[in-house]
């Protein structure tokens, strides 16, 4: 993906890879990332802004900022089409490092298994995990 390519107007999502390097700090900059991350089975898009503890939800082309259930450092979110559920994980908080949402708007805090430095979450339909 180059600086001049514009994937936002594609009729169907174009898959492409994204990566980051962490330089020893706690913050990972995503300011240069553009494009859409989408699940074809869900009609909206969700973006997590972890260090700001907020979620941005795209409905019909408009981003709406939603406040998370707790003011943690939310770093990753995934969607399970089988469960029709978003899951988000955080690297901070006391037993409050997991949230779920059926719609990306209303979030419920869940008790985390441990207060580890949770950085990422993904869904596997075979493992239900």
Q: What is the pLDDT of residues 89-129, one digit of tens each?
A: 888 888 888 988 888 778 899 998 888 888 888 888 787 65
The answer to whether position 33 is within a domain reads: no
The answer to whether position 96 is within a domain reads: yes
Task: Tell me the Ramachandran region of residue 26: left when phi exceeds 0, alpha when psi lies from -120 to 50, beta otherwise.
Answer: alpha
Residue numbers of the domain that contains 50: 45-110
Strand, coil or helix: 51: helix
Q: Beta partners for 77?
A: 88
The answer to whether position 6 is within a domain reads: no
The answer to whether position 25 is within a domain reads: no
The answer to whether position 20 is within a domain reads: no
The answer to whether position 13 is within a domain reads: no
Whether the predicted pLDDT of 9 surpasses 60: no
Q: What is the pLDDT of residues 26-80, one digit of tens each?
A: 444 444 444 444 444 444 445 555 443 445 555 555 666 666 777 788 888 888 8
pLDDT at 50: 47
Number of domains in the chain: 1
Between CA 94 and CA 42 the distance in angstroms is 31
The answer to whether position 84 is within a domain reads: yes
The answer to whether position 82 is within a domain reads: yes
């Amino acid at each position: 993906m180059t600086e001049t390519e514009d994937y936002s107007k594609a009729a169907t999502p174009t898959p492409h890879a994204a990566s980051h390097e962490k330089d020893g700090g706690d913050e990972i900059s995503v300011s240069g990332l553009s494009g859409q991350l989408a699940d074809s089975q869900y009609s909206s898009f969700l973006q997590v802004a972890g260090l700001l503890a907020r979620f941005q939800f795209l409905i019909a082309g408009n981003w709406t900022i939603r406040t998370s259930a707790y003011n943690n450092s939310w770093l990753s979110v995934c969607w399970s089409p089988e469960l029709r559920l978003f899951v988000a994980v955080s690297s901070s908080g006391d037993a409050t490092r997991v949230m779920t949402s059926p719609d990306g708007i209303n979030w419920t805090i869940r008790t985390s298994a441990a207060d580890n430095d949770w950085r990422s979450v993904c869904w596997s339909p075979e493992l239900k995990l």
